[in-house]
Amino acid sequence: MNVRALAAAFAAATMSVALVSAPALAEPTKPDVPHEVFSPDGTIKHVEVDPADLPKVPKSLAAAPSRLKQVEINGPSENRIDLVFLGDGYTAAEQTAYGTEIDAAWATMVEREPYKTYRKLFNVWRVEIDSPQSGVSGDPTADVHVDSPLAMTYWCGNTERLLCVDTAKAWEYASALVPGADQLLVQANSSKYGGAGYYTDDVGTFSRNPSSREVVLHELGHSQGDLADEYDYDGPEQYPSTDEPTEVNVTINSTGAKWGVWLGETTPDGGVIGAFEGAKYSRLGIWRPSQDSLMRNLGREFSLVNREKLVQSFYTEADPVDSASTPSGGTHNPAQSLTLQTVDVPLTIKWQVDNVDVPAWDGKKTLTPADFTSTGKSSFALKATVTDSTPMVRNPIFKPDLTQTLTWGVGQTSPTNPTATFTKTFDWGTGFEASVAVKAGSTAVTSWTVEFDVPAGFSINSTWDANRTQTGTHYTFTNKSYNGSINPGQTVTFGLGGAPGNFPGITNCKINGNPCN
pLDDT band at 412 (very low <50, low <70, confident <90, very high): low
pLDDT at 4 (0 to 100): 33
pLDDT band at 102 (very low <50, low <70, confident <90, very high): very high
Mean pLDDT of 112-134: 97
| More confident: 195 or 199 | 195
Longest distance between any two alpha carbons in the chain, whole Å: 105
Closest CA to 288 of 327, 325, 262: 262
Q: What is the DSSP letter of 257?
A: G
pLDDT at 186 (0 to 100): 96
Q: Tens of pLDDT along 325-353? A: 988 888 898 989 999 999 999 999 999 99
In this prediction, what percent of the chain has a pLDDT beyond 70?
90
pLDDT at 234 (0 to 100): 78
Strands of 122-129's sheet, edge to edge?
A: 66-72, 122-129, 81-88, 183-188, 203-207, 195-198
What single letter denotes the amino acid at residue 387? T
Angle (CA) 329-333-335 rounded to 5° is: 150
Q: What is the model's pTM?
A: 0.74
Q: Which helix (H) or strand (E) holds 186?
A: strand 183-188
CB-based contacts of 342, cutoff 8 Å, min separation 6: 320, 321, 322, 349, 365, 386
How distant, in Å, are the alpha carbons of 6, 297, 477 from that of 200? Answer: 9, 21, 62
Q: Tens of pLDDT along 237-295? A: 999 999 999 999 999 999 999 999 999 999 999 999 999 999 999 999 999 999 999 99
- Average pLDDT of the chain? 88
pLDDT at 198 (0 to 100): 76
Q: What is the DSSP letter of 246?
A: S
Chain centre distance of CA 384: 19
Q: What is the CATH number of domain 17-223?
A: 3.40.390.10
| pLDDT at residue 1 tops 70 | no
* Helical segments of 318-434, H only: 369-373
The third-level CATH classification (topology) of the domain covering 419-515 is Immunoglobulin-like (2.60.40)
pLDDT at 368 (0 to 100): 96
Q: What is the DSSP letter of 378?
A: S
pLDDT at 54 (0 to 100): 82
Q: Which helix (H) or strand (E) holds 84?
A: strand 81-88
Instruction: Please tell me if the domain spanning 319-410 has the same topology as the one spanning 419-515.
Output: yes
pLDDT at 21 (0 to 100): 40
Mean pLDDT of 107-128: 97
Listed as own residue / partner, the contacts of 90-99 with beta carbons closer than 8 Å and 24 or more positions apart are 90/128, 90/129, 90/130, 90/131, 90/134, 90/189, 91/130, 91/131, 91/132, 91/133, 91/134, 92/65, 92/130, 94/134, 94/189, 95/128, 95/130, 98/126, 98/128, 98/187, 98/189, 99/69, 99/126, 99/128
pLDDT band at 491 (very low <50, low <70, confident <90, very high): very high
Domain 319-410 has CATH 2.60.40: yes
Environment class of 82 (CB within 10 Å of its CB; exposed 0-12, middle 13-18, buried 19+) = buried
Separation between Cα atoms, residue 403 and residue 319, nearest integer Å: 8
- Domain limits, the chain: 17-223, 225-316, 319-410, 419-515
In this prediction, what percent of the chain has a pLDDT beyond 90?
72
What single letter denotes the amino acid at residue 14? T
Q: Tens of pLDDT along 134-176? A: 999 999 999 999 999 999 999 988 888 888 999 999 999 999 9
| pLDDT at residue 37 tops 70 | no
Closest CA to 10 of 34, 33, 41, 32: 41
Mean pLDDT of 398-408: 95
Mean pLDDT of 283-308: 95
Tell me which range, 31-35, 38-42, 473-477, 487-491, is most confidently predicted by mean pLDDT.
Answer: 473-477
Q: Is the dihedral angle over the CA atoms 218, 223, 227, 228 positive or is it negative?
A: positive
